[in-house]
Amino acid sequence: MTTFVHYPLLWGLLLVGVPVLIHWINMLRQKRVPWAAMEFLLASQKKHRTWIVFQQLLLLLLRMAAIAAVVLMLAQPVLQSGWGAWLGGVRTHHIVLLDDSFSMSERWDDTSAFDQAKTVTGRLVESLAREGDHTFTLQRFSQAGRPVRGTQPDFLEERVDSTFPDRLKTRLADLRPSQTAVGPLAAMEAVAHLLGQGEGERRIVYLVSDFRVRQWDDPGPLRKMLLDWTAAGVEVRLVQCVQGSRPNLAVRDLRPGPGTRAAGVPLFMEVTVENFGDTPVENVPVLIEADGQAQPALSIPRIPPRQAVKERFPVRFATAGEHRISVRLEADAVQDDNFRWAVIDVPAHVPVLLIDGDPEALDARYLSAVFAPGGPANTGISPRIETPRYLTLHPLEPFQAVYLLNVDRLDRSALAALEQYVAAGGGVGIFLGERSSSQVLNDEWHRQGQGLFPLPVEKPVDLPVDYLQRIPDLQLTDHPIFQVFAGARNSFLTSVIVRRYFSVPKDWRPGAEADVAVIARLRNGAPLVVERRFGRGRVVAFLTTAAPTWNNWARDNPSFVVAMLELQAYLTARPTAETPRLVGQPLELSLDAARYEPQVRFITPREDLSPTTVEEAEAAANGQLRATLVNTDVSGIYEARLVRNDGREEVRGFAVNVDPAEGDLRVLDYPELASRLDGVPHQFQLASRYEYAEGEQGGYNLGTALLCFVAVLLVAEQLLAYAASYHPPSWQRAEVLGGGA
């Protein structure tokens, strides 16, 4: 059986009659003129009439065949049998790029986007099996998106015979949408790498996807690759598996909120839920589990359209160690983004170092009373009071925060150790006092913005008493340390009196120093509390004392306790430690080679989908071992079971979650998609109404063979025309040209 890529061009076969029509018109124009001198020529013509008519008829047929061959070449016939190869035809290779990202799990009625994709793929192959000889490749997005290259497609250049539809049906029945958010670019690159240049075959690529706004609204690299393909002769078919956008909720984030993280101390978790729909959603229940035990559910009153709302809920763990928290939403269009997990490492207590420059350690004792009040009140903070010499003799890494209180001077090594601690992510709180020296602060601690102290200072000055306006001495911002006081009339804050503080140069402005911000001022506008980001850590400096010597804040004022606990929580926050791990990203684990065996056993959340594996850790720098789990295909809690050198086992948990951005179900309709792909030749159809394009089913395209055939016909026509025409001898031509008789 033969099909054609461009059926309408077959109307051009009517042009085959043009040579006959021209010959007939010429016959009508001829007139008989009797001429006695030509009688002998007529006799000769009658003698050779049969051969002359045969030549003329053959010439006419060649001209008709040439026109027919040109028309067929443009229509591109496709022969559905192996004879096409003998005739110089080009094999047709069908390549299906199947989107199996988790947005394809979107359900409506009794079907889903992925079901539509599988149905279209199956119907295509069934049609090919009926029509003739073909090859077929099936590449899923998630396979190509794996970090390990070399993952083979489900089918690679398989010949479509009578048994292939059943094999494909069996394979498709086992396929489910993945939990990845990989786009089409990885699959396109993988196919281009696997299949090479594709010389000598016709290629049709089917992008079977949902065409979400997320990947296709600005498809720069995608469009470029499609243009490269079509320029190389690849035919592109776009098959969209969804119609219209649907609303969807997704858990965007789950992480610990600010506060001290310690055993027996209440901790607030923050959950963020995003509404990807175009209408608001009200009373959204969030179900919570902690260590496998159900907790009181959280209800979010309202989530505006296209916005995310963050809410807090409390948890409390009586024991130290790793604890696991999960949240989930009620079922909606897509399920995978309704879940989120977190692993929280809760220490028995939080060690804090208080460095006091006064031998009596007055400032340190006030802060210590806040951090460890004793009795039933448990803050989880374990303060340790030391002198400045401690910084030179001992490492700072064991401490979650370091406080410098009324310190006059630090050794160069101590200051370097402190700066290294902050740059690595540590937090330092500084309170000035009588022992503080502006010269030391400026020359050694600040160093024109290169040191850890946030700003230059001048000298201690007194704040004049306000007898008239009664403006509170403390003017706070909405910084996380003071956010707890926002929006409330706090009588305790209004009773704080600051008598003395370090002034700053009049021409100093926060913008002059990098990563510096004033987070609290006095009523006269002078900075009182200043923050600086230093490396990955942070420094918060109070230009007054912690003890009630230059102020009365710590003397029987509850707001001081609250502010210092918030300061401690802020200094110990480690944003980089909460970086989410997403499905599909390798899970890397660093181990101390002196403490652990190199074998690491990874337990996955779903043994049926991703079995347990044992990975051999490789040697890394600084005596470390690095173990990597490459395939993190499902979301949930992964466990790494380690064996110490003393034989004891240790278990570490890791939360792996889906990329919530994939839950945005907005799609581009075809006019919008076509505008993004301007200049890319393609065909587009909806999966629910898919019809096979003309020439799509072909086996061997004979276009190239017909081009060669046309060339042969034209050469043969010219040779026959020359042979059938009259050519006088050379001597006669010479006489005519020379004017002879």
pLDDT at 631 (0 to 100): 86
Token pair, residue 345, equals: 């490492």
Where, residue-wise, is CATH 2.60.40.10 in the chain?
A: 247-347
Q: Band of the pLDDT at 728, cuts 50, 70, 90?
A: low
pLDDT per residue as tens digits for the range 435-445: 999 999 999 99
What superfamily would CATH give domain 350-571? Class I glutamine amidotransferase (GATase) domain (3.40.50.880)
What superfamily would CATH give domain 91-245+665-697? von Willebrand factor, type A domain (3.40.50.410)
37 or 374, greater pLDDT: 374
Provide the whole-model pTM: 0.77
- How far apart, in whole angstroms, are the C-alpha atoms of residue 461 and residue 475? 18
Where, residue-wise, is CATH 3.40.50.880 in the chain?
A: 350-571
pLDDT above 70 covers a percentage of the chain that reads 85
pLDDT per residue as tens digits for the range 51-74: 666 777 777 787 778 788 787 777
pLDDT at 490 (0 to 100): 61
pLDDT at 85 (0 to 100): 46
Q: Which of 325, 230, 255, 244 is nearest to 278 (CA)?
A: 244
- Write down the mean pLDDT value for the chain: 86
Q: Which residues of 323-340 are buried (b: 16+ CB within 10 A; e: fewer)?
A: bbbbbbbeebbbbbbbbb
DSSP alpha helices (H): ranges in 578-702? 670-676
pLDDT per residue as tens digits for the range 166-221: 999 999 999 999 999 999 999 999 888 877 766 668 899 999 999 999 999 999 99
- How far apart, in whole angstroms, are the C-alpha atoms of residue 344 and residue 346? 6
DSSP alpha helices (H): ranges in 220-356? 220-231
pLDDT at 695 (0 to 100): 47
pLDDT per residue as tens digits for the range 265-309: 999 999 999 999 999 999 999 999 999 999 999 999 999 999 999
The residue type of 638 is Y
Tell me: pLDDT of 329 over 70.
yes
232 or 721, greater pLDDT: 232
Q: Band of the pLDDT at 28, cuts 50, 70, 90?
A: low
CA dihedral (152, 157, 159, 162) positive or negative? positive
Q: How far is CA 294 from the centre of its chain?
A: 32
Segment 466-481 shows an average pLDDT of: 85
Q: How far is CA 661 from the centre of its chain?
A: 8
Under CATH, what is the fold of the domain 580-664? Immunoglobulin-like (2.60.40)
- How far apart, in whole angstroms, are the C-alpha atoms of residue 157 and residue 152? 11
What DSSP assignment string belongs to 14-65? GGGGHHHHHHHHHHHH------GGGHHHHHHHHHHHHHHHHHHHHHHHHHHH
Q: Band of the pLDDT at 164, cuts 50, 70, 90?
A: very high
3-state secondary structure 422-454: HHCCCEEEEECCCCCCHHHHHHHHHCCCCCCCC
Where, residue-wise, is CATH 2.60.40.1930 in the chain?
A: 580-664
Q: Report the CATH architecture of 247-347.
A: Sandwich (2.60)
Give me the count of residues in the chain.
Answer: 741
The residue type of 401 is A
Q: Band of the pLDDT at 138, cuts 50, 70, 90?
A: very high
Q: Which of 93, 71, 127, 208 is nearest to 706 (CA)?
A: 71
Q: What's the count of helices (H) and strands (E) in the chain, helices before strands? A: 18, 36
pLDDT per residue as tens digits for the range 596-643: 999 999 999 987 777 788 888 888 877 889 999 988 989 999 999 999
Token pair, residue 645, equals: 């050198």
